[in-house]
Amino acid sequence: MSSPAAAASPAFLDRAASATALRAAPDMVVPDGIGLDVAPAPAWIERGTADYRRAGLALFLAGFASFALIYCVQPLLPDFARSFALSPAQSSLALSLTTGLLAVSIVLAGAFSQVLGRRGLIFGSMALAAAFNLAAAFAPSWPTLLLARALEGFVLGGVPAVAMAYLAEEIAPRHLGKAMGLYIGGTAFGAMMGRVGMGLTTEFASWRVALGVLGALCVASAIGFVLLLPPSRNFQPQRGLGLGFHLAAWGGHLRNRALIRVYAIGFVLTSIFVTLFNYATFRLSGVPYGLSPSAVSMLFLAFGFGIVSSSLAGSLADRFGRRPLLVAGFLIMLAGVLLTLSASLVAIAGGVALVATGFFIGHSVASSSVGPLAGMSKGHAASLYLLFYYIGSSLTGSMGGWFWEHGGWTSIVALTGGLALVGALLSLAGRRGEARPATTR
């Protein structure tokens, strides 16, 4: 567990704030070449300032664009299956390959951002990913589309981990939960509008037009982001960092039991969320419902609950602690999963809304826990969290296809409901001190 001194100093991103704080943090490993000289006092971005508003809007755009691009194909999976004569598990590769490559690239991006800086890397990732989405719109075959989606996931790695690191090192600690909640809210909005927009556009045009329009919109979001984001104040670039530095940083975090538990929670959260939404589209577009693409896409309006719940969860976690919010998030998800067993469309929609609410509560709280628990090398710690997070999406999301094909919706409920119970137990397993906010200033 991080010491209070460590928890209060996001300037630990690349070097310790002081030798005293490092000695007080037994879970941390100091990579070779990192000195114990005292760093300058951090210049926080305080809530209520113009820079805070600009940073919030910029990172909202980053969250919107990245998650819209990642998940825009989810409501299109049945269309892909029809267009290319695929099984549900095969069509799910359009999402699983993206998140799988994203998981790998996030780790690399977290390391490179230590040298390259934050803003430029996020902007480049957003712009390239939007370009690959445009390429997917014109893909002449299924393998070509999968290649474009895989490359899109790989270049997007520069957004999530680096955005989390920027927030952890620039935003005043007492406002970090709220700021992280706003960023997660942006991801919720992007995930919702990307999916809903895909369904509506496909209904009146085609899935190719839908992918192209979203690509163009995300290019504009990238430009808005780079114009709005305030320059880093507390980031100290590290030149000439070798592989040994990064291995030591990642190794130190992987020996931190508190972080390992948070990483496992991230894996479980996205496993439940992506699997349930992937195969809900097949369930509702098939017998007996037979909903059109635009009607199925309305299912994703449930993400609106995530926009609200993620922001509220950040504030509540800052006040009451993280563990109660995490447990509540998983129990809400479990209730939602069980409610989808009903044959009623109203009940299914209500269950999906509960799953979205619980997911964004859990993700907001878990992601804001990483920086304070990591102490130093926050970029590396954030990248590991997102590695586990997207591995859950990729592996469990594809594995869910086997459950769907062999056991129908009941098997999907058994899989995701069981994972929700595992997540709740992981949340309860933390030591009491880890459940409190990182700072009370």
Task: Please write the tens of the pLDDT for every residue from 50-95.
Answer: 888 888 889 889 989 998 999 899 888 888 988 899 988 899 899 9
Distance CA 419, CA 334 (A): 9
Beta bridge partners of 45: 171
Q: Rounded mean pLDDT of 399-406?
A: 91
Residue indicated by tokens 């999916």: 195
Phi, psi of 350 (to 5 degrees): -65, -40
Q: Is 45 helix (H, G, I), strand (E, B) or coil?
A: strand
Please state, in angstroms and rounded to a whole number, the distance separating the CA atoms of residues 14 and 10: 9
User: For residue 183, what pLDDT is reported?
Assistant: 80
How many CB atoms are located within 10 Å of the residue 255 CB?
Answer: 12
Give domain 46-232+252-435's CATH number out of 3.40.50.300, 1.10.540.10, 1.20.1250.20, 1.20.1600.10: 1.20.1250.20
Q: What is the pLDDT of residue 241?
A: 59
CA 291 to CA 278: how far, in whole Å? 15
Cβ neighbours around 336 below 10 Å, total: 26
How many Å apart are CA 266 and CA 381, to the nearest integer?
A: 13
Q: Where are the alpha helices (DSSP H) in 239-344?
A: 243-254, 257-285, 293-297, 303-320, 322-339
Residue 432 has what pLDDT? 53
For residues 117 and 119, what is the distance between their CA atoms, to the nearest angstrom? 6
Residue range 300-305: mean pLDDT, rounded: 76
Tell me how far apart the alpha carbons of residues 185 and 376 are, in angstroms, rounded to a whole number: 26
As a whole-number percent, the residues of the chain with pLDDT over 70 amount to: 83
CB count within 10 Å of CB 329 equals: 28
Record the tokens describing residue 95, joined without a space. 């999402």
Among left, alpha and beta (phi > 0; psi -120 to 50; other), residue 141 is beta
What is the model's pLDDT at position 110? Answer: 67
Residues 154 and 101 sit within 8 Å (Cβ to Cβ): yes
CA atoms of 45 and 41, how far apart (whole Å): 13
Give the tens place of pLDDT for each residue, 380-401: 888 888 889 889 988 898 899 8
Q: Which residue has the tokens 């009607």?
A: 295
Phi/psi at 397 (5° precision):
-60, -40
Q: What's the mean pLDDT when you consider all of the chain?
A: 81
CB-based contact 287:69 (threshold 8 Å): no
| Measured distance CA(99)–CA(101) in Å, rounded | 6
Query: Which residue is it, tokens 């998650």?
Result: 67
Output the pLDDT for position 440. 30
Q: Per-residue pLDDT for 12 more than 70?
A: no
How many Cβ atoms sit within 10 Å of the Cβ of residue 92? 29
What is residue 239's three-state secondary structure?
coil
Q: How far is CA 373 from CA 4, 21, 215, 438, in A?
A: 10, 13, 36, 8
Question: Distance between CA atoms of 173 and 179, rounded to whole angstroms?
Answer: 10
At 359 the three-state DSSP class reads helix
Rounded Cα distance, 9 and 377, in Å: 12
pLDDT over 90 (residue 335): yes
Q: Which two tokens stand for residue 72?
A: 């825009």
**Band of the pLDDT at 414, cuts 50, 70, 90?**
very high
Q: Which two tokens stand for residue 309?
A: 């719940």
Residue 6: what pLDDT? 32
Domain spans, the chain: 46-232+252-435
**254/248 Cα distance (integer angstroms):** 10
> What phi and psi values does residue 81 have, to the nearest 5 degrees?
-60, -40
**pLDDT at residue 437 greater than cutoff 50:** no
